[in-house]
Amino acid sequence: MREQPHTISGSKGASSLGLVLPLARQYSPRLIGGLLALLAVDLLQLGIPRLVKRAVDLLAHGVASQMALARIALIIFLLALGIAGCRFVWRYLILGFSRLIERDLRDDFFRHLLTLDRPFFQKNPVGAIMALATNDLAAVQLAGGMGLVACADAVIMGIAALACMAYISPHLTLIAVIPMPFLALLTRALSARLHRRFLKVQEQFSRLTEFARSAITNIRLLKAYTQEGAQAEGFSRLGRQYQRDNIRLAGVHGTLFPISGLASNTSLLLAIFFGGRQVIGGAITVGDFVAFISYLYLLTWPMMAVGWVANLFQRGLTSLGRLDEVMAARPTLADPARLLSFPAGQTEISLHHLHFQYEGQEQPALAELSCVIHRGEIVGLVGRSGSGKSTLCHLLARQYPVADGAIFLNGVDINRLSLAAVRARVAYVPQDVLLFSDTVAANIAFGNPAASQAQIEAAARICRIHEEILGFSEGYQTRIGERGVKLSGGQRQRIALARAIILDRPMLIIDDSLSAVDLETEQEIISALAAFLPGRTCLIVSHRIAPLRDAARIIVLEEGKLLAQGKHAELLAASPFYRTMFYQQQMRHREKEL
């Protein structure tokens, strides 16, 4: 497994706040309530040094009575109770607020992912997207919860403590705040570095997640090729880099935090030296001095918090930027501005000089392809591997954008119809079978959860899988294991086909979906389909010609171009390519039988 390139770089930064602001507004009553409780905590806390000053002054003047001291102690106790209560309230409200935002953001993110189409998922590995939905969302939640609290607390407490200090002595306050501008400058200087390093950490975590996802989902292949050692080594290498990136990040955070502490201790030192001189000179009382030092202690937390808050916010913003990049991605296919309604009647597909090239490919996958698949016809599509058969199926199932005027349904350009309307009329069985780790019945009824057991069984009968399902330990209720590991390739393919049949849609597109089924069974299934299909338009891709012999028409593709079309007998007579392909397949089949 290659290490995937990453397209999620999160360079958007502060502009990404647009993602959370509407959510924040929605939950603002909670936020405001929480901030008020926080304000109450801070105000109550500011009362305590004033009471301490009273006690110290009483003691210093020798007029303290036991009663007076007990009264002060009681008031302090009541304040402490109030503080504890309000602390509970703000935690409950503000942390709840951040969880609500996280929940909505996750919902929005998931809903948005569901709107994106194949080209996006071709560029962004699943693991990287999973990392966004876990680690990055957690960083946003932390910033919106504890980050916000720490910031509000620091601002409220900082301003209030400074005001109380200035009330005691403006002169001393000015001296005590000397270290602060330095702290602010340092934080500014380090926050850009914090952003860069945290971005690296998150990107590396994306790689790590994708690597693990890829190894675990492909565990069978990995063991068959005895790649456990190499995979473990690859994983460790990514893990070591992740750890180094984290240490580098801790280097910045680790500088900021102690320096904030140093700044607040410097303030204390200045206050003790210069404040002490003021007490000696008689400018302030001993009580004032003690209260001043207590306020400075209250200021310690806001000053320490500067580094912490900067760290949390920077992380939150960085992660928000990464999320925003995916949120800003738009599906490559979009509904036209003026929709036409889907034309009634049985569906006829016509292609006019259809040309299609995958992004980044040099050769077109389909070129100059013109043909009509009439209403109610079963048309076979054959060609060598790489000739463009699956590409045509993708386009008809509306998975990639096509140019105007190339594909028409009942005479209407497919680009003028809504994507949902077209997709709702196509039952598409992709070449790679995808099953869910659920029961057989749930897998067949995936597109139509309301289907009855009788409908499920009817579909299974057409696909010649009914008898085998009855043979499973719990019949239709048998769980098939992660992505169908408990089934054979042919069983998986037939269940996937039954899932499409049960949808009962006017167009059926089967992309070589019976390749692991033996020839006779494939023939039987196609005959059963023909009986079931009257009135539906059906395109069956097969790499084997024999099962398609009775098709109304067979289209032969070669290098994305239409090489020939006609009934089986006509093609045998008219197309040397077809003839050779058919007889080679017959010979190989007979060799296998011998």
Ligand X SMILES: Nc1ncnc2c1ncn2[C@@H]1O[C@H](COP(=O)(O)OP(=O)(O)O)[C@@H](O)[C@H]1O
- The residues of the shown chain that bind Mg ion, judged by CB under 5 A, are 390, 431
**Residue 358 interacting entry, from Mg ion, ligand X, none, C-beta within 5 to 8 Å by type:** ligand X
Select the span of 190-198, 210-218, 386-394, 477-485 touching ligand X (CB under 6 A): 386-394
Residue 120 interacts with which of Mg ion, ligand X, none, CB < 5 to 8 Å by class: none
- Inter-axis angle of helices 489-501 and 519-532, to 10 degrees? 10
Burial class (CB in 10 A: 0-12, 13-18, 19+), 99: middle
> How near is the Cβ of 377 to ligand X at its closest, in Å?
21
C-alpha–C-alpha distance, residues 80 and 45, integer Å: 8
Stretches 20-28, 46-54, 380-388, 451-459: which one binds ligand X (CB under 6 A)?
380-388
Closest approach, Cβ 117 to ligand X, in A, equals 12
CB of 542 to Mg ion, least distance (A): 10
- Provide the token pair at 331: 């599906």
Strand partners, 556: 382, 564
User: Least CB distance from residue 385 to ligand X, whole Å?
Assistant: 4
Nearer to ligand X among residue 55 and residue 406 (C-beta): 406
Closest listed residue to residue 303, CA positions, set 262, 352, 268, 260: 260
Q: What is the amino acid identity at position 212? A: A
> What residue 388 binds from ligand X, Mg ion, none (CB within 5 to 8 A, per partner kind)?
ligand X
> Is there binding between residue 380 and ligand X (CB under 6 A)?
no
Name which of 122 and 586 has its Cβ closer to ligand X: 122
Rule CB under 6 A: is residue 389 a binding residue for ligand X? yes
**Which residues are CB-contacts of 258 (< 8 A; sequence separation ≥ 6)?**
none
- Is 410 or 431 the residue whose CB approaches Mg ion more closely? 431
Amino acid type, 245: D
Nearest to 383 by CA among 562, 522, 188: 562
Binding string, residues 186-205; x marks residues near ligand X by CB under 6 A: --------------------
> Would you say 390 or 443 has its CB closer to Mg ion?
390
Question: What region, left, alpha or beta, does residue 124 occupy, with left being phi > 0 and alpha being psi -120 to 50 degrees?
Answer: beta
Per rule CB under 6 A, is residue 391 in the interface with ligand X?
yes
Residue 473, contacted partner among ligand X, Mg ion, none, CB below 5-8 A by kind: none
Return the number of other C-beta atoms located less than 10 Å from residue 560's C-beta. 23
Instruction: Count the neighbouring beta carbons within 10 Å of the beta carbon of residue 418.
Output: 15
Q: Which among 531, 526, 471 is positioned nearest to 494, based on CA atoms?
A: 526
Please list the helix, strand and coil fractions of the chain in percent, rounded to the nearest 5, in that order.
65, 10, 25
Report the residue number, 96 or 386, with the smaller CB distance to ligand X.
386
Residue 122 or 584: the one with the smaller Cβ distance to ligand X is 122
Task: Give the one entry of Mg ion, ligand X, none that residue 391 binds, where binding means its C-beta sits below a cut-off of 5 to 8 angstroms depending on kind.
Answer: ligand X
**Which residue, 346 or 515, is less far from Mg ion as judged by CB?**
515
Candidate list 66, 226, 385, 473; residue touching ligand X; CB under 6 A: 385
Q: Are 219 and 228 in contact (CB under 8 A)?
A: no
Rounded (10°) angle between helices 286-327 and 28-60: 160
Closest CA to 372 of 391, 358, 353, 355: 353
Q: What is the largest CA-CA distance in the chain?
A: 123
Alpha-carbon distances, residue 277 vs 16, 77, 405 (angstroms): 51, 33, 90
How far apart are CB 433 and Mg ion at their closest, in Å? Answer: 13
Residue 388 found at the interface with ligand X (CB under 6 A):
yes
Rule CB under 6 A: choose which of 169, 231, 347, 390 binds ligand X: 390
Q: Which of residues 103-162 bind ligand X (CB under 6 A)?
A: 122
| Residue 545 contacts ligand X per CB under 6 A | no
Site pattern 336..375 for ligand X (x: CB under 6 A) = ----------------------x--x---x----------
Between 92 and 358, CB nearer to ligand X: 358
Nearer to Mg ion, 431 or 521 (CB): 431
Structure-block tokens of residue 570? 């006509």
Span from 123-131, 209-217, 323-331, 389-397 in contact with ligand X (CB under 6 A): 389-397
Instruction: Specify the amino acid at residue 410.
Output: N
Q: Which residue among 82, 234, 376, 386 contacts ligand X (CB under 6 A)?
A: 386
Residues 6+ positions from 277 with CB-CB distance below 8 Å:
none
Give 147 or 388: the residue with its C-beta nearer to ligand X: 388
DSSP assignment of 504-529 equals: --SEEEEESTTTTS-HHHHHHHHHHH
Nearer to Mg ion, 407 or 509 (CB): 509
Contact residues toward ligand X (CB under 6 A) are: 122, 358, 361, 365, 383, 385-391
